Structures are given as C-alpha cells and as structure tokens.
Amino acid sequence: MSQFDEGAVADDQRRKLDQIRLTGITATGYHGVFEHERREGQTFVADVVVHLDTRRAAARDDLAHTLNYGELAVQVSAVLSGEPVDLIETVAERIAATVLAHALVQAVDVSVHKPQAPIEVPFGDVVVAIRRDRTKLPAAEPYTARSAAGAEAAAPAPGGPVPAGPAPATVAPAGPTPTAALPAVPAPTPAAPLAPTAGVDNPSGPVIVAPAPRGALPDGVAARPVDGEVVVDAFDRTPDAPVDVVLALGSNLGAPQDTLRRAVSDLGAIPGVQVVDVSPLARTAPVGGPEQPDFLNAVVLARTVLSARDLLRATQAVEQAHGRERHEHWGPRTLDVDIIVYGGLTAVADDLEVPHPRAHERAFVLQPWAQVAPDAVLPGLGGGPVAVLAATAPDRDGVRWLALDWLTAPTTPADPAGDVQPA
C-alpha cells in the first residue's frame, strides 16, 4: 500500500477530491548507484494515488472524463523499467510528472519501493513517498513514448553488458546503507560575454558527472566523493552555447521606472549576459501580500553563458545594488528580479526553480512577455503559449496599462484610483 494515509486533497472550494489507487505496479528496472544494479537489474514496485473529481465521468458513464488507469499503469511500469537513474527519488518524480500531465488530475501520491536494495543488514523494504500537485510540481519530466524509446536503447538486457557510453562514476559505500553521491565537477569559471564555454551536452538531463581527469589521482586510486569536493546539480552546469533566458522585473518603492531602467542596464553589464529585448512597461495591481502601491513590471529577454545558479547570484546582486530587502513575503520592494525561464531546463532546488512555478498564472509577467515575444511558449507543467496564458491569467484585470517607450521617456504618473489610460 501507499506510504501516505488516506488524507484527502481538497479542491479550490475545499471539497474533498476523489481518489483512484493503483498499488503494486511491478517491473524490473536498472536504477541504482552500483554497477551491478545497472547491469543485473532488480524489482521495483510503485503505488500511485490519484486525486481528481470523478463525478462527471460517473454521471455520463464516460471514460473520457476520468483517468484511464490501465494506460496509466502501463506508463508507470515504463518509468520503472525505463531510463536508468541513480535514485528512486528521481523515479518517483518522473511518475508524479507523468500522472500530473493528465489535465483532470489535481494531485498525486507516489510511493516507489526497492525491496532488493543492496543493504548489508536485514530489512523489509526501502520506500520513497512523495506528494505533488499543481502548486508543488514534480522535479522531472513526464513519461513519453519518445523518451521510452531512448530509454529502451539505453537500458541493459538482463545479464547483459552495461550500455556503451560514459560509465557512471564509481561510488564506494560509506556504510551499511549506500548513498547516491554525485561525482565532482570543477566550479564554473566566469565566462567572457557570449563566448561558448565548456559544459555538459544536456544541461536539462539527469546529473551525471565525469570522473576526475587522468593524473588527478595517484595510480590505483579510484575516484570517489571525499570531503571538500564540489558536488553540483543541473543549476551549476555551464552551458556549451548561449542559453535564452527570460527575466521578470518589478518595483513599487522609490522611483520604480528609474529603478527598472537602471536594472536593465545593470543586467546587460553582467559578464556573460546579453540583453536581447525589453518588454513594454506594465503598471499592475499587487498580487497577495499587504496593502501597498501598484507595481511597475517589465520582462527582459536575454542570452547567457552563465550557469542558472550563477545567473541567480548575478540577478540577486543587482537587486541588492538597488536596496532590495526581503522582510515580508510578497511585500513592497525597490526591485525584484526573477528568473522565469532558463533555456529548456526544468528543475527544482532549494534556492531556485525553473520555469518559475507561478509564471503561468501571473499576468504581470505574461502580458509584457507576450508583447515582446508573441510566439513565446512557457515550458513545463502548467505552461503553454504565453499569449494564451496571459489572456486567461487570474490577475489579468490587474494590469492597468502598458508603456512602450519607457526606457527613454517618462511614463504617466501612477494614479491611485487606477484610471490612467494606456500609454
């Protein structure tokens, strides 16, 4: 059974949602940090609890209005037996993303069991259990037939050789329970503006790090994590070529238009960042938080050779240069700079999530973005054509006006009554 209790998920009207439960989905997979796990495979089991409203399907007796749990079971099995990864945490995230790709689903509980885990003491099971929903999206992409075809080519046959290509880094167990440690990568060095820099081939894929360079270790000593090594995730990877990024700027304290002008200039002055285009300026009502003045918002399209985390540090430095202080969630601020999109990367960490988890429902980001890039598409779950999302965003009526030439001309002073006409 699932490791979650039967605690229900409520819809936006606080009504308990219905559940579809799939338990004991079993497949042979090749996940794990040890070479023998990748070579020989083992049994993995998944339990899935889907939270949705089944009334419409029941009233019409129509499968089109509910989840086809037969198809879902096949997809979950395909994830279990598919592309090998180090961690069952990753497997659980992929299953959750696959379930949430169905528009009817509001939330999902996923438990992944590894009953044959290589543990040196007697044990019953190892389980990773997660809950994901529309506000806490999975840190992985959903299963697709195309990704499954690639995984089938990459997965070893039972008893067969390990797939050709870069071998996983050797990880020595630090104790009775193995841990999925990541190999080391040198910290990225500052890049010259828009000059391609060395990096990984697939910055949005799973974290795989090359072994230490030849000669870095004495002969006969295997590469393994040690104290002091730099362990990185996808956000630390320096791209091979410039990456398109979208930044959202906002300000409602001091002289907001002047602040945003200077911020655009400051962003363009960051080594490794090139500003490509700047949206019209939007005056928008605050969303959430305490009572406060209207915001001025803009979107900057840029290209960068910085890693996502280096770009985050650089944008935070720009915020701090303009007196940004983070005292109150959704409170007033002199400057806010958010990374909305970093290429096609979809990933989550404690300090950064891309695409921005609320971008799909924020008109003050979507409307200016659609003005400067009408064909833009927001990637990830909840994404889609930016112009369509802008037209349906819940706060779309809060966008007061747009000013086109704001970088060189003053805008109309903000009217507290909100009666200013479009510039």
The values of phi and psi at residue 297, to 5°, are: -130, 150
Is 45 in contact with 112 (CB distance < 8 Å)? Answer: yes
DSSP string, 274-301: EEEEEPPEEEE---SSSS-PPEEEEEEE
Nearest to 278 by CA among 293, 268, 289, 269: 268
CA distance 123 to 323: 54
User: Which pair of structure tokens corresponds to residue 250?
Assistant: 């906002």
In Å, the largest CA–CA distance within the chain is 75
Nearest to 280 by CA among 364, 361, 378: 364
CA distance 60 to 178: 51
CA distance 223 to 378: 40
Q: Please name the residue that has the structure tokens 């870069």.
A: 166
Give the contacts of 301 (CB within 8 A, at least 6 positions apart).
Answer: 244, 245, 246, 275, 276, 277, 278, 279, 372, 373
- Cα angle vertex 98, ends 94, 99, to 5°? 120
User: CA separation (Å) from 361 to 137, 249, 346, 386?
Assistant: 14, 16, 17, 10
CA distance 325 to 333: 7
User: CA separation (Å) from 147 to 89, 151, 152, 227?
Assistant: 18, 6, 9, 36
DSSP string, 158-198: TTSPPPSSSPPPP---SSSS---PPPB-PPPPPPPTT----
DSSP string, 37-77: HHHH-EEEEEEEEEEE--HHHHHHT-GGGS--HHHHHHHHH
Known catalytic residues are 114
Q: Do the strands 384-385 and 377-378 form a parallel or antiparallel pair, or are they unpaired?
A: antiparallel
